[in-house]
Structure 1
Amino acid sequence: MADGVIPAETEARPAERGLTYPFAAPPASGEAIRVAPDVLWMRVAMPMQLDHINVYAVRDGDGWAVVDCGLAIPGTKDEWEALLSGPMGGEPVTRVICTHMHPDHIGLAGWLCERFDAPLLMTRLEYVMARMLLADTGQTAPESGAVFYRAAGWDEPQIARYRKEFGRFGTAVSTLPAAYTRMREGDLIRIGDHDWRVVVGEGHSPEHACLWREVDGLVLGGDQILPRISSNVSVWPTEADADPLGEWLDSLERMKTVFPDDVLVLPSHGEVFRGVQPRLDALIRGHRVALKRLERSLREPKRAVDLFPALFARPVGDGVRGMATGEAVAHLNYMLHRGAVVRERDEDGVDWWRATTKREEAA
């Protein structure tokens, strides 16, 4: 090992559910694994159950293009300082690429861009959404949010907590640059000696960018293709009737036609892996199974919060209640848009959902 860079492993671990993991272990703090020519896999910590984000550096002339950044919280800058001076050899960041706008991906983007006078690359919807959420930081919660969560079955103390915690997006995100370079579906981005094709997905976020180096089959998968967990797919109060699960499933189906199975996927969480086709199949199948469980559960009217046991393998605590509610409503909206459920709001403003017999009648 030189300068904190661990050379690529040559022996894969045994296949797990159709996936193989070419590296014995992920990189430790301050270290990097060279996963392919000119590409470093690194990690920074996060203070939550999902305790890390993978970040990547791609050789770009005399410096590095960085993909995703980690949260803007105490300690993360120190980790970056160790990476910049160690595995990245003290060479400059030439550009900052963010797959999407969630805080663990864009948190330190502004800091890196400012420090190195580097451009920020994002898709348009991700950049605009991030700027919108940053504008909410420190603002009073809108009443439409309380209406949304009351309809989902939250009680008044839970709604009071929503009001208290509203506008915290910017607490872990440094100020974004006032301008950016747009990435679009199908764009070819030249980084160093190779082109990377932009492949856009929807559902987890509005216009999530994956990057595919076709010459040797590398895919920077962001949160779109994770090896062991499924990304959160949620409806939020700003667009209460949205159908992100439909968009997510359509994106996964389309990616099955795009990526060959021998690509090496570099995800934002978990470990680098091969086996993109079985993983896409598993992600799709997981939601299809969940929808069937919901249909059975909704033979009697239920609120969104009543469906947590049908969707999640563990109890839902206050810290993840918002995401769990958003995911439940995403599944319900998917079914509603396709005529599989009906929704009725009672005099207390609570939505009650039940399965229809439409499909049985059609048969």
Structure 2
Amino acid sequence: MDQRTDAPLDESRRLPAGLAYPHGEAIPAPNGAIEVAERILWLRLPLPMTLDHVNVYALDDGDGWTIVDTGFQTDKTKAIWADLMNGPLAAKPVRRVIASHHHPDHIGLAGWFQAEHGASLWTTRTAWLFARMLTLDHQERTSAPNLLHMKRAGADAARLEWARAREPMNFSRIVAPLPPGYRRLRDGERIEMGGRAWRVFTGDGHAPEQATFWSTDGEVVLSADQILPRISPNIGVFSTEPDADPLGEWLASCKKFQPYAREGHLALPGHNRPFTGLPKRLDQLIANHHGVIRRLRKFLHQPRTAIECYDTIYKRPIKDGEFGLAMVEAIAHLNHMMTTGEAERRLDANGAYRFVLKP
């Protein structure tokens, strides 16, 4: 199962209107940190993909650090963490790791921190179960259900053959084994970290039961991948649940967050840079996906496969490295239209689903 997090639906490489970066163009130096709020350090770890970094945050609990997200399990990332723990974090140990969601760039070294450093792991139940299941599900070649998922999306014979011959992205290679035992995070609960009280709000769509953290003093939001400043989080339908409507879940999550979002919030996202303008960004993200649906309404006057919808959805060429992400996100928009009753799908002679507006 390929569940990478770099998103092909990118409405702008510029900062959207109404948002600001309080720290300007600054980003943490390799093995370094930037204090973005009192007792909160911003760290950045490299990723070997188009989206080439993940943000992690260290919160000073007095007698130790709470780390929010961890990066991939790689020797390079472990070496960076060793430098960080001998550098900006040297004064005290990492006692707790919080994984916002189950994607490998966020939970990849959580088990390592547990096993090697004695840290406790806090995450949602769905995130822990998903990550633990996927680390145990190693596949040498792309599975039959994944190949069928691609075929249903309209992949041609050459792409199916390419996928059939390769090893998919296995969590077992980039996520450390997760020992039994974690502390469950629940939607709506209050926790303490970094000298602040925080409210946990979970969201869905990009990842099931993704945790975000809203300080009760109204100053800071750890928004993870649920709310990003420059790109829309990848929202995909995978072979494990091919009829899912994650776009509907994600839009509902954005609306859930709107009453709590304030202009003065400093949002600390999983990617890009910390920003302000959270209410505006939620509006923009919702509008971006509604715009895709409007374009599809005009395009689906004839039956189309998910792959045939790429130009309409993304308005730019999709490179080979983005193909899988584009595919699962295209299906998400089409499934949403089917769920809301706007479209229906038909299986064609080649075994692909073709979506068309209902008469």
Query: TM-score, with normalisation over the residues of structure 2?
Result: 0.92
Cα distance, 1:128 vs structure 2 = 0.6
Equivalent residue letter for 1:259: A
Does 1:341 find its partner at 2:329?
no
Q: Distance in 1 between matches of 2:158 and 2:113?
A: 39
Does 1:96 find its partner at 2:85?
no
- Larger-gyration structure (1/2): 1
Contact 2:262 2:277 in 1 (8 A): no
Contact 2:141 2:167 in 1 (8 A): no
Deviations 1:233-260 (A, max 9, x none): 0000110100000000000011101222
Aligned residues: 343
- After superposition, residues 320-339 of structure 1 pair within 5 angstroms as 320-339=322-341
Which residue number corresponds to residue 23 of structure 1?
A: 23
Contact 1:150 1:159 in 2 (8 A): yes
Contact 2:73 2:108 in 1 (8 A): yes
From 288, 291, 301, the counterpart of 2:290: 288
From 247, 250, 254, the counterpart of 1:248: 250
Equivalent residue letter for 1:273: F
Contact 2:40 2:194 in 1 (8 A): no
Structure 1: gaps of 5 or more residues: 1-14, 358-363
Check 1:159–1:169 CA distance in 2 against 1; reply closer, same or farther (3 A cut).
farther
Cα distance, 1:143 vs structure 2 = 2.3
- After superposition, residues 128-207 of structure 1 pair within 5 angstroms as 128-138=129-139, 141-163=142-164, 164-166=166-168, 168-207=170-209
Deviations 1:275-300 (A, max 9, x none): 00000000000000000111111111
From 273, 276, 279, the counterpart of 1:277: 279
Cα distance, 1:320 vs structure 2 = 2.1
Equivalent residue letter for 2:285: L
Deviations 1:181-237 (A, max 9, x none): 100101111225322111111000011000111225211110011011000000001
Contact 1:140 1:167 in 2 (8 A): no
Q: Distance in 2 between matches of 1:348 and 1:150?
A: 8
SS at match of 1:127: helix
Q: Distance in 1 between matches of 2:289 and 2:174?
A: 30
Which residue number corresponds to residue 225 of structure 2?
A: 223
Q: Distance in 2 between matches of 1:139 and 1:124?
A: 28
Which residue number corresponds to residue 307 of structure 2?
A: 305
Ranges of 4+ aligned residues in structure 1 off by more than 4 Å: none
Aligned Cα root-mean-square deviation (Å)? 1.5
Deviations 1:295-342 (A, max 9, x none): 111111111100011111432233222211110000000000111111
Equivalent pairs: percent with the same residue? 42
From 266, 269, 278, the counterpart of 1:267: 269
Deviations 1:4-51 (A, max 9, x none): xxxxxxxxxxx9511111113111111111111111011111122211
